[in-house]
A and B are shown apart, each in its own frame.
Chain A
Amino acid sequence: MAERLEGMPAIVTGAGSGIGRATTLRFVADGADVLAIDRDADGVAETARLAGNGPGRCAHAKSDVGEDGSPAEMVARCKAEFGSPRILVNNAGIGAAKPVHTTSDEDLDRFININIRALFRYAREGVAAMREAGQGGCIINIASVFGLRGFPGSSIYSASKAAVIGLTQNMAADYGPYGIRVNAVAPGLIKTNLTKSRFEDNDAFFLEGLIGQTPLGRAAEPEEVAAGIAFLCSNDAAYITGQTLAIDGGWSTTKYRPFPDDVHD
């Protein structure tokens, strides 16, 4: 399936590490021309360096998605570099929420600003460009399994990701007639900067609650999420819109706790 996104201009936010970096590299390997965006200039420059072998092209930009000018600037930048974006991956997001009763107004605003407001504004700018170009398009929003199921301590993070799923469904309805597909992925436990400290600190509650309840019994690499995103952006998914694909080893379906061994023997 090499180069199945050949010549497709794409924007990936939060591309300086983790899922955003893996998605950028995957897109470039599949032939897309990617504008990689992150507020971390060094990180996103490294992503672009890693993408250097093509066959697609990669440009990078330092931009904070939470700033009001960012979506319009980055869409203009994509148009200038590669043409009007056909793909937009709204990946940038923040984690590490607290339970409701210890969440300050400031925390609340931070999550709403980055995980919902910035994503909404990028989607609005992206859809405008896609409608103007008239060639359809594909928007992928990165949600989370915590947007599908509750998990202790994730309050406003869960709520923000559930909002992303709702927006995904709505936009599929509004823009399907224009050939613009809008889908989400809901990653489970993925090894990224967002979860790094949980592994390093050996956060037993967190890891047991996720890996211990994941039927496939492990965390995943960012590349495994990128594979799902690449599928949803490809022609193979031409009839898929409005969906939220869990890439979670089965966690959200089951909250699985393994049977005692003898059940399997």
Chain B
Amino acid sequence: MSLEGKVAIVTGGGGGFGTEISKRLVAVGAKVVVVDIVGDNARRTADALGDAAIAMEADIGKAGPVKEVITATVKAFGGLDIIVNNAGLSYRPVRVVDMDESLYDRVFEANVKSIFHFTKYGVPELDKRGGGSIVNIASTSAVKPRAGNTVYATSKAAAIAFTKASALELAKQKIRVNTILPVASLTPMLTGMFEGDNSSRIEAMEVGIPLGRLGQPKDIAAGVMFFLSDEADFITGVALPVDGGWTAS
């Protein structure tokens, strides 16, 4: 696979899935703008990738910063072909009755509105290159939720619907839009959800996953790379769980 000459934006690139996705993109010749709300994390990823990557700190739930990211991308690398909407916000399990409305808003900004902004402001740039590819990272929680996670699951269901509907809207412009549904995976997002020793929680989650383990960044990155490649030229509007069989069983 080669993505030589392609320019990609990866949100949430400062850790977990986003770092792995950025690495794989660079490995096949793409230029990558690594975006993260924590600038130091974005820089750590980008620095390790040399001249092929730059870092940007941005709150992608807001239109202004997203527009700045896109402008800077085009300025740095001459265009935009690929958007990986990977950034997302999770939180410690909480019942809806105990949840602050402000957290609801932040989750929806990070997990849904970010995709809206990057589609709205990114598509004109993809269009200038004659097409492109967008991959949104949703979650298996959208189709098979766990307790304490209602608003997160709802936001990820919205991301799936956004993917399918925008795939329809953008097909004519030769822009494919797909989404990957990771199951719980060993990333900072997961470990950050629990205090202290979380090994018993992780073991509990592994039960019920037929392949017997949680996801890993490389699993998700591999799925993203497939969607971005020419191999997936006839695939659009698809929601692919990468979940060791969790949603199938």
Contacts and interface: CB of A to CB of B under 8 A. Distances in A.
A173 B244 CA distance: 9
Range class of the B interface residue count: 35 or more
A228 B238 CA distance: 13
A253 to B, nearest CB: 3
B238 A246 contact: yes
A262 to B, nearest CB: 12
B238 A245 contact: yes
A224 to B, nearest CB: 5
Given A231-B226, A236-B223, A256 B168 contact: yes
Interface stretch (A16-24, A104-112, A151-159, A214-222): A214-222
Given A168-B248, A215-B236, A239-B216, A250 B226 contact: no
A243 B236 contact: no
Contacts of A217: 171-172
Interface stretch (B76-84, B105-113, B114-122, B207-215): B207-215
A224 B233 contact: yes
A185 to B, nearest CB: 10
B128 to A, nearest CB: 15
Nearest to B230: A227
Given A215-B171, A250-B236, A258-B172, A241 B223 contact: no
A242 B171 contact: no
A102 interface: no
Contacts of A216: 171, 176, 234, 236
A246 B235 contact: yes
A224 B211 CA distance: 27
B223 A240 contact: yes
B240 interface: yes
11 contacts: A169-B249, A220-B234, A228-B235, A231-B232, A237-B223, A239-B216, A240-B219, A240-B243, A242-B247, A250-B236, A253-B237
Given A174-B210, A181-B211, A240-B243, 13 more contacts: A169-B248, A176-B209, A188-B234, A215-B167, A217-B171, A217-B172, A227-B231, A230-B231, A237-B222, A242-B247, A243-B248, A249-B235, A254-B167
Interface of B: 1, 164, 167-169, 171-173, 176, 209-213, 215-216, 219, 222-223, 225-226, 231-238, 240-245, 247-249
Interface of A: 1, 168-170, 172-177, 179, 181, 188, 215-217, 220, 224, 227-228, 230-231, 235-243, 245-250, 253-254, 256, 258-259, 264
